[in-house]
Structure 1
Amino acid sequence: MSVKVLDTFAGAGGFSLGFQLAGAEVVGAIEYDSWACETFQFNHPEAVVLQGDITKISDEEILQRFSGLKPDVVLGGPPCQGFSICNKNNGDPKDPRNSLFEEFIRVGRLLSPRVMIMENVPNLIKARTESKERVIDIICMELQKLGYQVEYRILEATHYGVPQIRRRLVVVASREKLNDPFPAQTHTTSENPDLLELGLKRCPTLWEAISDLPDIEAREGEEESDYTKAPDNDFQRYLRGESKRLFNHKAMNHSKRLVERFASMRWGDSTSDVPDHLRPLKRNSTEFSEKAYDQNNRRMHPERPCHTIAASFYANFVHPYKNRNFTAREGARIQTFPDWYVFKGKPTVVSHKLLQREGRHEEKHLCQYNQIGNAVPPLLGKAIAENLIKQLQG
């Protein structure tokens, strides 16, 4: 009998895809953003996808949509930006009980799955409420009140074959006692032969993840295209799978000046290292910006894992050899999404802060880059899933 998974705060579905790759059945999702829902539904056509603000979805609707599906596992990455709430008078604004975490708990209370798994930023470990309680302790306590045994650990994505330095906090709450809720390390970035002799595989590098994708320059590429090269290694073969076409491999429409700026950069250089005449200009001006953005547009080293693919990664990284940012598909490869997984919505949108400021709320969607950067890397999800499924079915 397959393990059934419901993904809350699902985004594009990276975490639940990891479970699917491990043999689980993805039965449903709850997600606020319409483009992310479109992506999820397209790639999981059998799943029940509920789009909406989870705080406004009633208990009745959650039960009506999902209780008959009997999910064994509920996943969730509730946004925990400072655990802020609209009504600052409602107790401690940094208390997770006043945050979207409470919605994750509510779904667990309603559906009583065997396992609940929450993922979040590692800094959550250090977070404290205004009354100095550790936030992670409150989270564990709330899950224990539902009858779960709770453990948490920070996992490093490169330890599971993800070619990207990405650390995530994973909280596993289970009805039954698990031998170990967390998967053993399978990969290493070290060249130390002793580690490789221990049975660890070498984690792919950035270039090993993307080198078989079609060569395109800035302003080139298509939302759907043909492969032009054969796969080079097992990682590429695995992510290609049975895919006959390539999706979302379209380069950004960089200006000539931006391409020149990228051309001046070596591996490891960022915007703050470029010659003076190529420095960024102030918005709508011919004057140079005084701000040096050290994290913006850093040229990645091909023979190392990539830095963390964040929601705004279209402006974070420069391709190791091309004078352009990564395409959405290159980001998806680094995140370990298979090539058949298609991202819907526009590739990029105007800054969310700008849309908020100008009241253009109907345009505020998660673009392809946001969806990819926000996701749990599927291969990290798969490692967590394989370890759990073995114990649940055992």
Structure 2
Amino acid sequence: MREIIVDNFAGGGGASTGIELATGRSVDIAINHDPAAIAMHRANHPETEHYCESVWDVDPRSAAAGRPIGLAWFSPDCKHFSKAKGGKPVEKKIRGLAWIVLKWAGKVRPRVIILENVEEFKTWGPVRKGRPVKSKKGQTFEQWKQQLESLGYVVESRELRACDYGAPTIRKRFFLVARRDGRPIVWPEPTHGDPESEEVKNGKLKPWRTAAEIIDWSIPCPSIFERKKPLAENTMRRIARGMQRFVIDNPTPFIVRVNHSGSNHHYTDSIDEPFKTVTSHLVKLRGTCQDGQPVTEPMPTITAGGLHVGEVRAFLLKYYGSADNGQQLDEPLHTVTTKERFGLVTVEGVDYQIVDIGMRMLEPHELFAAQGFPAKYIIDVDADGKKYPKSAQVARCGNAVPPPFAEALVRANLPEMCVGSGQALALERYKPAVG
């Protein structure tokens, strides 16, 4: 009988999508308690058998129905391990969701098991009054791992970064692979790397995909000075610092021609044309980052908590006057009260004046693209025709497994289940988000 694939905690389908890109077929079973998550999964994976119930309520033997399981994927809720939760109390019940792995391992013995979680999953230990017991950090994880090994599995774990496997985000995750078929566990070799590394310069690796690739430059970026509700002071400070660092003080700012060919160009490609837009950078509205990051790097980690990554654009015109007439470049930008003449950018010896600054939050389709989802992935409506609000789309994206992770791990450990790079089913349904 053909081996089947089971995706526990299937969510919106990130792992399932990556598995399908590797194998050329949909996962056979997807399990999640959230009706909205299952509805999105059904829209994108209609051939899958869906269980909209708690993983604890699904009997592995009944679900498998006598079929051998080649791969069981598990992505249990990570909120109560993640450092992003801060000092808030944790729930022992949610932290214990990974015990479901042992239920499947004991009852139906999947040949390969892959678990995905946050880096802090290895610190899983006892909880007292809503707080992890520091002296017993990692104790439960080791017990859980030993029980898995006692069932005949060889177990290994590593932390991987999505940008190393073709997703334009720095998201880092913990992965555990367990197998009982006598074959070695294989960790996929990175396909992408730092553009400045020797591996990339020598052509051994592709350069990391960047935030600039997934930004939809056709979307208007409204002025920060003409908002009905002014931006928070901290946001303005972050924009100001980012403008100084990534535009004014940057000898090679990233230039984009908007409403022309639609392509993105560095300044050397468009110096003879009027500059329409400079992207100064991305601004992060949460966390400790002071000035954001350039769009020439992978996207920061996308979270389910809300829209916290914004695109900032500086609009430029050729400058023919004197810098003394406007804002001094060594003054904090957030003190500027008018949008005329407050910054100069010199490119190839030509002065350009910043005449406006725009900011917008990235849209859900851009965030899904940053996670490595195919462009055709359905995110705004479920299988029953119900539309998702933007907040729900972002939450589903932040909770998702970047598909390139799953594809790389499955190709490395289950090559006998995979098809070549020209797989018919997956590529017929999905097209890459970028070229």
Do they fold alike, i.e. is TM over 0.5?
yes
Q: Which moved more, 1:153-162 or 1:296-305?
A: 296-305
Q: Closer, same or farther in 2 for the Cα pair 1:375/1:259, shift >3 Å? A: same
Give the counterpart of 1:319 among 298, 311, 320: 311
Question: Is 1:37 equivalent to 2:73 in the alignment?
Answer: no
Counterpart secondary structure, 1:379? helix
Check 1:126–1:99 CA distance in 2 against 1; reply closer, same or farther (3 A cut): closer
Q: CA, structure 1 residues 139+392, in 2 after alignment: closer, same or farther (shift >3 Å)?
A: farther
| Aligned equivalent of 1:145 | 150
Which amino acid letter does the alignment assign opposite residue 18 of structure 1?
G
Q: Tell me how far apart the structure 2 counterparts of residues 217 and 79 of structure 1 sit (CA, whole Å).
A: 35
Q: Tell me the equivalent position of 1:174.
A: 179
Displacement of 1:150 in angstroms is 0.7
In the TM superposition, what are the counterparts of 1:291-310 in structure 2 within 5 Å?
294=287, 299-310=292-303
Q: Which residue of 2 aligns with 1:101?
A: 98
Give me the CA root mean square deviation: 3.5
> In the alignment, which residue of structure 1 is the partner of 2:239?
266
Q: Does 1:71 align with 2:69?
A: yes
Shift of 1:260: 8.7
Mapping 1:69-148, distance limit 5 Å: 70-82=68-80, 99-129=96-126, 130=133, 132=136, 133-148=138-153
Count of matched residue positions in the alignment of Structure 1 and Structure 2: 308
Distance in 1, matches of 2:286 and 2:211, equals 23
Q: State the alpha-carbon separation in 2 of the partners of residues 297 and 326 from structure 1.
A: 19
**Which residue number corresponds to residue 258 of structure 2?**
none
CA distance in 2 between counterparts of 1:171 and 1:7 reads: 15
More strand by share: 2
Letter in structure 2 aligned against 1:66: A
Inter-partner Cα distance in structure 2 for 1:267 and 1:202:
29
> Are the aligned partners of 1:156 and 1:168 in contact in 2 as well (CA < 8 Å)?
yes
Distance 1:94 1:122 in 2: 18
Q: Distance in 2 between matches of 1:340 and 1:20?
A: 14
Closer, same or farther: CA 347–105 of 1 in aligned 2, 3 Å: farther
Once the two structures are TM-superposed, the CA of residue 41 in structure 1 deviates from its matched residue by 0.6
Alpha-carbon contact 1:297-1:325 (below 8 Å) kept: no
1:164 to 169, 177, 184: 169
Query: What aligned pairs does 1:365-376 form with structure 2 within 5 A after superposition?
Result: 367-376=392-401
CA contact (8 A) 1:95 1:135 kept: no
- 2:369 matches 1:347: no
Which amino acid letter does the alignment assign opposite residue 306 of structure 1?
M
Residue 334 (structure 1) aligned with residue 370 (structure 2): yes
| 2:115 partner SS | strand
Distance 1:255 1:108 in 2: 56
Residues 102 and 24 (structure 1 numbering): CA distance in 2 closer, same or farther, change over 3 Å? Answer: farther
Q: 1:64 to 1:157 in 2, by over 3 A?
A: same
CA distance in 2, matches of 1:336, 1:67: 33
Aligned to 2:129: none
Change (3 A) 1:69 1:263: farther
Q: Provide the secondary structure at the position in 2 that maps to 1:72.
A: strand
In the alignment, the residues of structure 1 paired with residue 153 and residue 168 of structure 2 have an alpha-carbon distance, to the nearest angstrom, of 33
| Contact 1:336/1:377 (<8 A) preserved | yes
1:340 maps to amino acid: K
Moved more, 179-188 or 329-338: 179-188
**Which segments of 5 or more consecutive residues in structure 2 lack a partner in the other structure?**
82-90, 127-132, 244-284, 314-357, 382-386, 420-435
Which structure: larger Rg?
A: 2
TM-score (norm: length of structure 2): 0.62
Structure 1 segment 184-195 matched on structure 2, within 5 A: 184-195=189-200
Partner of 1:52: 53
The amino acid of 2:175's aligned partner reads V
Aligned residue for 2:271?
none
Question: Which residue is 2:428 aligned to?
Answer: none
1 CA distance for matches of 2:79 and 2:21?
30
The match for 2:219 among 215, 222, 225 is 215
User: Which residue matches 2:17?
Assistant: 17
CA distance in 2 between partners of 1:128 and 1:327 (Å): 37
Tell me if structure 2 keeps the 8 A contact 1:29–1:50. Answer: yes
Secondary structure class of the residue paired with 2:160:
strand
Distance 1:369 1:297, change over 3 A: farther
Distance 1:117 1:54 in 2: 16
User: Between the two proteins, what is the percent identity of the paired residues?
Assistant: 27
8 Å CA contact 1:18–1:380 kept in 2: the answer is yes
Separation (CA, whole Å) in 1 of partners of 2:182 and 2:417: 10
SS of corresponding position for 1:75: strand
Deviations 1:25-58 (A, max 9, x none): 3111101111111110110001011012223x15
The whole-number CA distance in structure 2 between the counterparts of 1:256 and 1:265 is 20
Q: Do structure 1's residue 197 and structure 2's residue 193 form an aligned pair? A: no
Q: Deviations over 1:78-127 (max 9, x none)?
A: 125547xxxxxxxxx8699x811112321333332111110111122344
In the aligned structure 2, how far is the partner of 1:166 from the partner of 1:194? 21
Q: 1: CA distance between counterparts of 2:80 and 2:238? A: 36
